[in-house]
Amino acid sequence: MKKTILVTLSAFGFALFSLMQQAPAQPVAAGTKLISAGDIYTVQQASGAPTVALGGTVMPYKEVTLAAQTPGRVKFIAGIEGDSFKSEELLVAIDDTELLAKRSAAAAQYSSAQSQLRNAGVQYSRELWSPKSNQGPGGMGLPNLFDQMFNGKMEDFMGDRDRDAERAADLFASSTQIEQARNSLMQASAEIQAIDAKLRDARSQAPFDGVIMKKFVEVGDTVQPGQPLLMYADVTYLQIEVDVPSQLSKGLNRGMMLDAEMDIDGRVIPTRVAQIYPMADTQRHTVKVKFDLPQGFSSPGMYVKVRVPDFQAPSRASPVIPKSAVRYNGSLPGAYVINETGEPQLRLIRVGEDLGSGYISVLSGLQPGERILLNPNSAITSGWASSGAPKQ
């Protein structure tokens, strides 16, 4: 029996709690209308340094311009603007027929140098083991009969001839031929390497994953060294490039978070200071600053406004209200203010900058602490009220 009573009381308490949760908020009387307390917003005050909107351009994080390294005719282009490629893929190729002919000639010279080197080595070995100084006119390394009968006697009378000096000279001559053949081989090899480098320069490959941003040539064009071929960029990560006045750049630090307004749809997105150039422009007296952008909000070349704080200007405190509370009568903005009698009254206001997250600043017409309708519907009508400060 006790368990039954406890269960009944618990069920009753839960039902009462549910009814309390579903009960509407205490309404505020407004003449014959009822305004829910959840539709009323108390004007807040935001203080801080004023900001200056500076225009910038969205740029890729990495961008390169591929230029011709060798003269010739363009024979291949991988794609058009917007096509994506992986790293090391071929983008542009220049006709290399002349370079291939030069490489064949250099390869022939290399083969000849190898033959000369082998021949010089054989001659040196023969001189080492069968010196010419010991050979007679008939060769074969046997002493000549005339040399034995006459020169031998004269050598005994005048002294031995310097056979070692002759042998050393012959060996030196043979070794010189080896060095010359080796140098010719190295020269031919260097020529082949130089031609191979030019062949690589005739083929422009993608330095990283990216897309073609712009083409400067077409297939069949004749190019010279230094002439641009393609503009290639990595659009995975984007940045805003802004020329910030020198006096404003002093208040920026790397990693600082600021707001940026997209020109295409007016969205406000967060940006981060990525790089501040160390030197200012001597003509315009501005410092180039790059801001990191979140992915998926913009494309290269778009115009963006970045709100840069001006810490040198005097700080001001402005009321802040939700955007949904602003109503326009033609081009005049206004807000429904709850007066002393609890009735909504439309008051003319002057709006300021968009603060993001659905809020906007008010330059005049409202004071912090006043109550306004958060999202007034079309059924609420009222005449315009004075934009002056309310009575205290």
Average pLDDT, the chain: 77
69-83 mean pLDDT: 92
Architecture of domain 51-60+233-309: Beta Barrel (2.40)
Give residue for tokens 């056979």: 163
The string of pLDDT tens digits covering residues 184-239 is 889 999 999 999 999 998 999 999 999 999 999 999 999 999 999 999 999 888 99
Residue 45 has pLDDT above 60, yes or no: yes
Q: Please report which confidence band the pLDDT of residue 47 belongs to, taking 50, 70 and 90 as the band edges.
A: low
Orientation of helix 97-129 relative to helix 163-201, angle to 10°: 160
What is the CB-side half-sphere exposure of residue 272 using CA atoms within 13 A? Answer: 9
Closest CA to 83 of 231, 225, 282: 231
The string of pLDDT tens digits covering residues 224-271 is 999 999 999 998 889 999 999 888 888 889 999 998 888 777 788 889
Q: How far is CA 152 from CA 82, 138, 141, 146, 157, in A?
A: 93, 17, 16, 9, 9
What DSSP letter does each residue of 136-193 carry, written as one string?
-TT-TTPPPHHIIIIIHHHHHHH----HHHHHHHHHHHHHHHHHHHHHHHHHHHHHHH
Rg (alpha carbons) of the chain, rounded to whole number: 45
- Name the class of domain 23-48+316-385: mainly beta
Give the ranges where the chain is alpha helix by DSSP (H). 2-22, 97-129, 145-146, 152-158, 163-201, 246-249
Question: Rounded distance, CA 80 to CA 90, Å?
Answer: 13
The first and second tokens of residue 378, run together, are: 């079309």
Question: Rounded distance, CA 333 to CA 110, Å?
Answer: 86
Phi-psi region of 117 (alpha: psi -120 to 50; beta: other; left: phi over 0): alpha
The CATH classification number of 66-94+202-230 equals 2.40.50.100
Per the confidence metrics, is the pTM higher than 0.75?
Answer: no
Question: Rounded distance, CA 134 to CA 130, Å?
Answer: 8
pLDDT of amino acid 35: 54
Q: How far is CA 337 from CA 26, 45, 257, 317, 369, in A?
A: 18, 16, 34, 20, 11
